[in-house]
Amino acid sequence: MSTKYLFVTGGVCSSLGKGLASASIGLLLEKHNLKVSMLKIDPYLNVDPGTMNPFQHGEVYVTDDGAETDLDLGHYFRYTNSPLSRASNATSGQIYNAVISRERKGDYLGQTVQVIPHITDEIKRRILACAKQVEGTDIVLVEVGGTVGDIESLAILEAIRQFRQERPNACLNIHLTYIPLIRAAGEVKTKPTQHSVQGLRAIGIIPDIIICRCEQSLAQDLKDKISLFCSVPKNGVIEAVDVQQTIYELPLHFQAQGIDTLILEKLDLKPKQKTSLHEWETICKQIAQPKGTVTMGLIGKYVKHQDAYKSVIEAIHHGGIANGYKVEIRQFEADRLMEGGSIEENIQGCDGYLIPGGFGERGWMGKIAAAKYCRVNNIPYFGICLGMQALVTEYARNVASLPEANSTEVDPGTPDPVICLISEQEGIENLGGTMRLGAYPCRLTSGSKAAKIYDSEEISERHRHRYEFNNRYKAQLEEAGLLLSGICAERSLVEIAEVAGHPWMIGVQYHPEFQSKPTAPHPLFASFVKAMVEYQKK
Ligand code: GLN
């Protein structure tokens, strides 16, 4: 069977949940035993979101092969089994970069290099490359970032138009729009959807299915009106009503409206098996009826941006699912923990604290103080990346008698650089720091808490950081009671630090949150939530 292509565009405004809708559709298609590959095309000119401020862009999701990508890939991971790699996210920056590099090498043999056909050809090449990640891809689902009508996304939409013209029976367009409710008038409005579809048609794309994001279920006459004005069949108007309890309901709502069978029909695909979303139904029921609630403090620098810690927050909820508990998350600004009182007064009352990844000095002192608070009071503490570095620094200062210990990221002149760049550890000067990105194997010390939690001694986790534990301090810190229970053998790098004798105080240099799914909660998050439940019972 030849590969089919499904394009998801967005209209009216952003933040409608296009990534979640795409991920949910990907899941439903996989449940028909189809091999799905997901691609996100982002219209911005940054080559990748790695250098973008989390306040603007939200989390950077890292793949096994070390690509720094859009956070929608995290949704794809949580809902589907699509292969995720460098080929799963393309940006206009990468596309232009590739074309301009070729032009500089003289590959265009004197031609005038233009948006059409050179940029559009490169976009089409990226769509085909996504399909080639694995053998036998049935469907490539391409999500286009941004909103139809943006100048930035014009070339991408033009490439999709050409792609469809070249493969008339292999492509399908889904357009996600917004149906606002005008409360004062008590009416829902379809006009913005009509205009957005007109915008898409002006580019030469006629959508086959329209997904309507709305607050309340839409009346049939309203759906009929959308069908008439937008030229989609009546069963092609699908509603995406704001979810009640959890985003994991979305695939169930879509399935109930038959979006998957409609897609199969339109693409002339025979369903290979009957779908069952049994495990997703169970998860949603469990989330709606938890055994109890624990409260977790999230101490970070970007807590005001709701997407900055997307995967961490989702993984915590997966830990809740594993234990049948709801986790309420209280967010604390790391650089304000000492304002107007002591840290104890400001953050107390949670059943555990998580310090996620981060960069730079802001909030560092607060993170170290929070680590101390948890260590001294036997409160569960989970440090991820920078949170692990805070755990190690605090332990060095207050337990291993190195009061001036620090990370050279914060204090390049510290006499005790317990965390520093590899180049500094090896005495190479001015080399700068290159980021350690992507999956690395890690060997766990048998009998350690980490080995018990993973129930394995060999793991693979993804990284995104420059600074590392300084092996010069290994013996001294271990003597003081810090168990360095995970090592990346190929480079002798410390990946996990756990405080011996503490109920649950673990720091990991990598990002476990990137590999957690609601259907397969990451063991560290499941165990951390269990520790919070036990702490609460005490
Ligand atoms: N800033 C730290 C480093 O570069 C931690 C990075 C992170 O938490 N992702 O090592």
- pLDDT tens digits along 264-303: 999 999 876 667 899 999 999 999 999 999 999 999 988 7
- If one residue of 466, 494, 508 were mutated to test the ligand 1 pocket, choosing by the most ligand atoms within 8 A of its CB, it would be 466
Span(s) in the chain for CATH 3.40.50.880: 291-537
Structural contact between residues 190 and 222, judged by C-beta atoms closer than 8 angstroms: yes
Ligand 1 pocket check for 467: Cβ under 6 Å: yes
Q: CA-CA distance, 340 to 433, in Å (whole number)?
A: 37
Distance from the alpha carbon of residue 55 to the mean position of ligand 1, in angstroms: 17
Query: Which pLDDT band holds residue 521 (cuts at 50, 70, 90)?
Result: very high
Which option is the CATH number for 291-537: 3.40.630.10, 3.90.550.10, 3.40.50.880, 3.30.450.40? 3.40.50.880
Ligand 1 pocket check for 253: Cβ under 6 Å: no
Return mean pLDDT, the chain.
Answer: 94
Tell me what pLDDT residue 431 has.
47
Say what the pTM is: 0.95
Structural contact between residues 318 and 287, judged by C-beta atoms closer than 8 angstroms: no
Summarize pLDDT for 131-141 with one digit per residue, the tens: 999 999 999 99
Q: CA-CA distance, 30 to 24, in Å (whole number)?
A: 10
Phi, psi of 97 (to 5 degrees): -60, -45
**Which residues are bridge partners to 209 per DSSP?**
174
4-282 CATH fold: Rossmann fold (3.40.50)
Span(s) in the chain for CATH 3.40.50.300: 4-282
Summarize pLDDT for 36-84 with one digit per residue, the tens: 999 999 999 999 888 888 777 889 999 999 999 999 999 999 999 999 9
Burial of 331 (0-12, 13-18, 19+ CB in 10 A): middle
Longest dimension (CA), the chain: 75
Check whether 432 has a pLDDT greater than 60. no
Ligand 1 pocket check for 364: Cβ under 6 Å: no
Closest ligand 1 atom to the C-alpha of 357? 8
Q: Whose CA is nearest to atom 9 of ligand 1?
A: 357
Place of tokens 């063991």: 523
Q: CA-CA distance, 342 to 107, in Å (whole number)?
A: 64
